[in-house]
C-alpha cells in the first residue's frame, strides 16, 4: 500500500493548489466539448477561468481555440494542477510524467482501477506511490473531479452545469460519489442555494473525503459543509476534519449510506454483534456535532437553514399559526424529535386572549385567520412569542395565505419588525407561495418551507449544532496504571483481576479447583452464591448451562461443582480450570458495558441495560473511546430505559456515579490496551442502589492478534 501522508493539517492545506490553482494542464484534451477531455476546457472557457489552461494532446496543435502541447515536458511553465483524462492503461505513466515535471496536484478522471479488479487496485497503488513520492496530491482516480465557481475552475465532465452554473453562496460539497455530489449541487441550485465548491473523491487513492471536509472547514469563504459518504476508509483525517469544522462553528450535514453489519467474527461478542458499522459511525458523527441527513431533501433543508448561521443553544420552538391543525402537526413533529415547545407565560396568554378572544395562545400560538382583518394583530402576536415566550426558534405557519400577493407584503412588514428586534432568533416560515414571493421572504432572512414538518426537522438540527458548538468543559478521562494484557483470551477470573487493577470492580469471588474449596469460598462470602464454569474456551457460559444461581448451602455448592465440571468437559476441546464462586448480588439493576474495536475508528464503548433491553430492543448507546465520567453519565442517561436506573415510579435511584466511573475507566482501558484488544464484554454489571457501587458480574476480554 502507499506510504502514509503527513499530518491532517498539512493534508488539508495541501489541497489549495488543487481546488484553487492559477494554471492547469489537461492531459487527454479533446476538441470535442462533449467528451471527457473536452468538457473541462469548454467549461473553464465559458466561465472565464482566470488562470492558464494548457491542453496536452500530441495529435493536435490547437484545441478549442487554445494552443495544444504534445507533452507535459513541452509546457511553457509547470502548472499548479493537472487533469488526467486518458485511458487507464496510460494514466499511471501520465501521473509519473506530471510528478517528474514537478506538478503538485493531479485530478484523475480516468476509471478502471481499484473499482474494477485486483490488477486495477495494484495500478492505483503504483499511481499513488508515484504521487506521494513527489509530494503530489491526487484526487481520484475514477472521480468526477471538482469545481470552484469562484474562479471559474471546472476540472470535471459533469453534465449538471448544462442546466445552470453554480450560484454564489457559502455551502461547500464534499462527496465520495461524483454522481451524487453533482446531484446534490443541482438540487441545491434549483432551491437557490449557493454551492460554489464541490469536490468528488472517487476511489480515494490519496485525497479522502476527510481531507476535503478539512479544507472546507479552514476555508474562510465556506460556512456550511454538505457531505456524502459510502464508507470511511481513513479515520485520522476524517476525525481531524470534523474537529476542525466544530472548532470553526461550521455545521457539517452528512448523508452516510450503507448500513452493513460486521461479519461473523462479531458473534464472539455481544457488543460487536450489536455494534454494526452504521451504529458506530452514527455515534462518531454525533460526537463531532455532525447532523446526519436521512434523505436528499432533508440534507438540503438542513444546509439551507444553516446558511442563516443561527445555532440556538438549548433550542426551544415557539409557533405562531393561522391554523389549529397546522399547529398540532408541528407540535407532533417537535415531540418526535424531543424539541422543546414550552407554553407561553400565563400573563402573555391572557393578554393575547384579550386581543383575540377566540385565539389559542398556549404554544402553538393560534392567532386564527382574524389577523388578516388587522395585520397589526399578527405583529403583536409574533412579538409576544419572541419577547414573552423567549423561544430561540420561531416558526410561522401561514400556508397559502402567506403566498397571496395581497397579504404577503403585510406579513413581511410585521414579521420583519419583530425579526429586527430579535436578531439572535431563528425565524422560519411555512408558506405555499410562488417563487417570487418565496424569494422575497428569503431576502428578508427568513427560511421558507412548504412542509412545516420539514421545517421542524431543520430547526431541531440547528439546535443540535448550537449545543455542540457551545463551549463545553469536558472532564478528563481517568488515569489508569499501565495495562498488561495476556497473549491469549483469559479466563473470567483472570479478566476480572486485570480489570480490577484498572479500578473496574467485580463482586467478591474466588476461582476454585475442588468442590471443598468452592464450599469454603461460599461460606466465607455468605449465601446465596453464584457458580460458573471456569474456562478460557467457554466465553458464553450460560449457553452450556455453565452458570448456577441462588446456591444456598455447602452441599448445594458441592453438587453444583460436579455439575459444572461435567458440563464443561462435555464441550469438545475446552480447557477446564475449575469453578468460579461469587457472592450473589441483589437489589441492583443489570447493565451491559462493552468495548468493540471498530476497523476504522478504533475502540468504541457500548452501554445499555441487560436482558430484554439489549438482546431484543437493542436500547444501547455507543461512544468512541476514551472519555471522562461526565460523558459516561450522559451515555447512561441517554438510553430510553434510563429511568430504570435513575429512579422511576417511586424507585430509589441506583449508583449512577459508580457506573459512570466504571464506563469511563473501561473506555480508557480500551485505548491503553492497544490493538491486541479485540473487545470486552461486562455482562451483566450490577449497579446497586445509590452509594453502594457497581460491580462486573461476568467479564470477557477478547484478545486478538496485534497489528503492526
Label each residue of 300-356 as H, E or C: HHHHHHHCCCCCCCCCEEEEEECCHHHHHHHHHHHHHCCCECCCCCHHHHHHHHHHC
Q: What are the CB-based long-range contacts (under 8 Å, 24+) for 187-190?
A: 187/296, 187/300, 188/226, 188/300, 188/303, 188/304, 189/163, 189/164, 190/164
8 A C-beta contact, residue 39 and residue 10: no
Position with higher pLDDT, 209 vs 707: 209
Round to whole Å and give the CA distance between 74 and 504.
Answer: 68
Position with higher pLDDT, 619 vs 505: 505
Round to whole Å and give the CA distance between 337 and 88.
Answer: 49
For 322-349, how does the pLDDT look when each residue is reduced to its tens digit (9 = 90+)? 989 999 999 999 999 999 999 999 999 9
Round to whole Å and give the CA distance between 653 and 647.
Answer: 4
In this prediction, residue 404 has a pLDDT band, given cuts at 50, 70 and 90, of: very high
**Residue 612, pLDDT score:** 66
CATH superfamily of 589-703: ATP-grasp fold, B domain (3.30.470.20)
**Domain span(s) for CATH 3.30.1490.20 in the chain:** 508-583
Taking 60 as the threshold, does the pLDDT of residue 35 lie above it?
yes
Taking 60 as the threshold, does the pLDDT of residue 361 lie above it?
yes
**Residue 273, pLDDT score:** 44
For 74-133, how does the pLDDT look when each residue is reduced to its tens digit (9 = 90+)? 999 999 999 999 999 999 999 999 999 999 999 999 999 999 999 999 999 999 999 999
**pTM score, two decimals?**
0.90
Taking 60 as the threshold, does the pLDDT of residue 268 lie above it?
no
Q: What is the enclosing helix (H) or strand (E) of 120?
A: helix 118-133
For 287-334, how does the pLDDT look when each residue is reduced to its tens digit (9 = 90+)? 999 999 999 999 999 999 999 999 999 999 999 999 899 999 999 999
**Residue 623, pLDDT score:** 96
Round to whole Å and give the CA distance between 522 and 528.
Answer: 8
Taking 70 as the threshold, does the pLDDT of residue 281 lie above it?
yes
**Domain span(s) for CATH 3.40.50.261 in the chain:** 310-469
Taking 50 as the threshold, does the pLDDT of residue 261 lie above it?
no
8 A C-beta contact, residue 33 and residue 4: no
**Residue 146, pLDDT score:** 98
List, in sequence order, every residue forming a beta bridge with 532; answer none if it has no partner: 547, 580
Give the Cβ contact number of residue 340 at 10 Å.
16
- CA separation, residue 707 to residues 3, 676, 678, 698, 699 (Å): 17, 7, 11, 28, 24
**Domain span(s) for CATH 3.30.470.20 in the chain:** 589-703
**Residue 4, pLDDT score:** 57
| Domain 310-469, CATH number (from 3.10.20.30, 3.40.140.10, 2.60.40.10, 3.40.50.261) | 3.40.50.261
Which fold does the domain 8-305 belong to in CATH?
Rossmann fold (3.40.50)
Q: Is 433 left (phi over 0), alpha (psi -120 to 50) or beta?
A: beta
**Residue 653, pLDDT score:** 93
Q: What percent of the chain has pLDDT over 70?
A: 95
Classify each residue of 554-582 as buried b or exposed e, where b means 16 or more C-beta atoms within 10 Å of its C-beta.
bebbbebbebbbebbeebeebebbbbbbb
**Residue 399, pLDDT score:** 94
Round to whole Å and give the CA distance between 52 and 269.
Answer: 58
Round to whole Å and give the CA distance between 708 and 704.
Answer: 13
Q: What percent of the chain has pLDDT over 90?
A: 85
Taking 70 as the threshold, does the pLDDT of residue 708 lie above it?
no
What does pLDDT average to over the chain? 93
Mean pLDDT of 483-511: 93
| Domain 508-583, CATH number (from 3.40.718.10, 3.60.110.10, 3.40.309.10, 3.30.1490.20) | 3.30.1490.20
**Domain span(s) for CATH 3.40.50.720 in the chain:** 8-305
**Residue 706, pLDDT score:** 55
Amino acid at each position: 500500500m502507499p506510504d502514509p501522508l503527513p499530518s491532517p493539517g498539512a493534508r488539508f492545506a495541501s489541497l489549495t493548489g488543487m481546488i484553487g490553482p492559477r494554471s492547469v494542464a489537461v492531459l487527454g484534451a479533446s476538441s470535442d466539448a462533449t467528451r471527457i477531455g473536452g468538457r473541462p476546457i469548454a467549461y473553464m472557457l465559458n466561465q472565464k477561468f482566470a488562470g492558464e489552461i494548457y491542453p496536452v494532446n500530441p495529435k493536435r496543435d490547437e484545441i478549442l481555440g487554445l494552443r495544444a502541447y504534445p507533452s507535459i515536458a513541452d509546457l511553457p511553465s509547470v502548472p499548479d494542477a493537472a487533469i488526467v483524462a486518458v485511458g487507464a492503461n496510460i494514466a499511471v505513466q501520465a501521473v509519473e510524467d506530471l510528478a517528474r515535471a514537478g506538478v503538485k496536484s493531479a485530478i484523475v478522471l480516468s476509471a478502471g482501477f481499484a473499482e474494477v479488479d485486483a490488477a486495477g487496485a495494484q495500478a492505483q497503488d503504483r499511481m499513488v506511490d508515484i504521487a506521494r513520492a513527489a509530494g503530489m496530491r491526487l484526487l481520484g482516480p475514477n472521480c468526477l473531479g471538482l469545481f470552484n465557481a469562484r474562479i471559474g475552475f471546472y476540472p470535471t465532465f459533469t453534465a449538471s452545469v448544462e442546466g445552470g452554473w453554480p450560484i454564489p453562496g457559502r455551502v461547500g460539497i464534499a462527496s465520495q460519489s461524483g454522481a451524487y455530489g453533482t446531484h446534490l449541487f443541482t438540487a441545491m441550485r434549483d432551491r437557490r442555494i449557493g454551492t460554489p465548491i464541490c469536490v468528488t473523491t472517487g476511489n480515494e487513492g490519496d485525497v479522502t473525503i476527510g481531507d476535503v471536509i478539512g479544507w472546507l472547514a479552514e476555508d474562510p469563504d465556506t460556512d456550511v459543509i454538505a457531505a456524502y459518504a459510502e464508507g470511511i476508509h481513513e479515520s485520522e483525517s476524517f476525525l481531524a476534519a470534523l474537529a476542525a469544522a466544530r472548532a470553526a462553528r461550521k455545521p457539517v450535514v452528512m448523508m452516510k449510506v450503507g448500513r452493513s453489519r460486521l461479519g461473523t467474527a462479531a458473534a464472539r461478542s455481544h457488543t460487536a454483534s450489536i455494534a454494526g458499522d452504521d451504529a458506530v459511525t452514527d455515534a462518531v458523527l454525533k460526537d463531532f456535532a455532525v447532523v446526519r441527513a436521512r434523505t436528499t431533501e432533508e440534507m438540503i433543508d438542513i444546509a439551507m437553514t444553516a446558511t442563516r448561521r443561527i445555532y440556538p443553544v438549548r433550542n426551544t420552538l415557539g409557533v405562531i399559526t393561522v391554523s389549529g391543525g397546522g399547529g398540532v402537526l408541528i407540535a407532533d413533529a417537535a415531540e418526535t424529535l424531543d424539541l422543546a415547545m414550552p407554553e407561553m407565560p400565563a400573563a402573555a396568554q391572557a393578554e393575547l386572549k384579550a386581543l383575540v378572544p377566540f385565539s389559542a395562545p398556549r404554544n402553538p400560538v393560534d392567532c386564527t385567520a382574524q389577523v388578516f382583518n388587522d395585520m397589526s394583530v399578527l405583529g403583536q402576536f409574533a412579538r409576544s412569542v419572541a419577547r414573552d415566550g423567549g423561544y430561540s426558534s420561531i416558526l410561522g405557519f401561514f400556508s397559502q395565505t402567506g403566498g397571496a400577493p395581497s397579504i404577503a407584503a403585510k406579513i413581511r412588514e410585521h414579521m420583519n419588525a419583530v425579526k429586527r428586534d430579535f436578531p439572535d432568533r431563528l425565524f422560519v416560515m411555512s408558506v405555499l407561495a410562488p417563487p417570487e414571493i418565496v424569494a422575497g421572504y428569503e431576502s428578508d432572512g427568513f427560511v421558507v418551507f412548504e412542509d412545516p414538518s420539514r421545517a421542524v426537522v431543520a430547526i431541531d438540527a440547528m439546535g443540535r449544532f448550537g449545543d455542540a458548538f457551545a463551549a463545553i468543559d469536558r472532564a478528563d478521562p481517568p488515569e489508569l496504571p499501565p495495562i498488561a494484557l495476556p497473549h491469549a483470551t483469559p479466563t473470567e477470573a483472570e479478566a476480572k483481576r486485570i480489570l480490577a487493577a484498572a479500578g473496574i470492580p467485580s463482586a467478591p469471588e474466588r476461582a476454585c479447583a475442588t468442590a471443598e474449596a468452592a464450599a469454603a469460598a461460599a461460606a466465607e462470602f455468605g449465601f446465596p452464591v453464584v457458580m460458573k464454569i471456569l474456562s478460557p474456551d467457554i466465553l458464553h457460559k450460560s449457553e452450556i448451562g455453565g452458570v448456577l444461581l441462588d446456591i444456598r448451602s455447602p452441599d448445594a455448592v458441592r453438587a453444583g461443582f460436579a455439575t459444572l465440571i461435567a458440563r464443561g468437559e462435555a464441550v469438545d476441546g475446552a480447557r477446564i480450570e475449575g469453578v468460579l464462586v461469587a457472592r450473589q448480588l441483589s437489589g441492583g439493576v443489570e447493565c451491559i458495558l462493552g468495548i468493540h474495536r471498530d476497523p476504522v475508528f478504533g475502540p468504541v464503548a457500548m452501554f445499555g441495560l441487560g436482558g430484554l433491553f439489549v438482546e431484543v430492543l437493542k436500547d444501547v448507546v455507543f461512544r468512541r473511546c476514551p472519555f471522562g465520567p461526565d460523558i459516561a453519565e450522559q451515555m447512561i442517561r441517554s438510553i430510553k430505559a434510563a429511568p430504570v436506573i435513575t429512579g422511576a415510579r417511586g424507585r430509589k435511584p441506583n449508583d449512577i456515579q459508580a457506573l459512570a466511573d466504571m464506563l469511563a475507566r473501561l473506555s480508557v482501558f480500551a485505548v491503553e490496551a492497544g490493538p491486541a484488544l479485540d473487545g470486552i464484554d461486562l455482562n451483566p454489571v450490577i449497579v446497586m442502589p445509590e452509594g453502594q457501587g457497581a460491580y462486573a458480574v461476568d467479564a470477557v476480554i477478547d484478545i486478538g492478534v496485534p497489528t503492526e
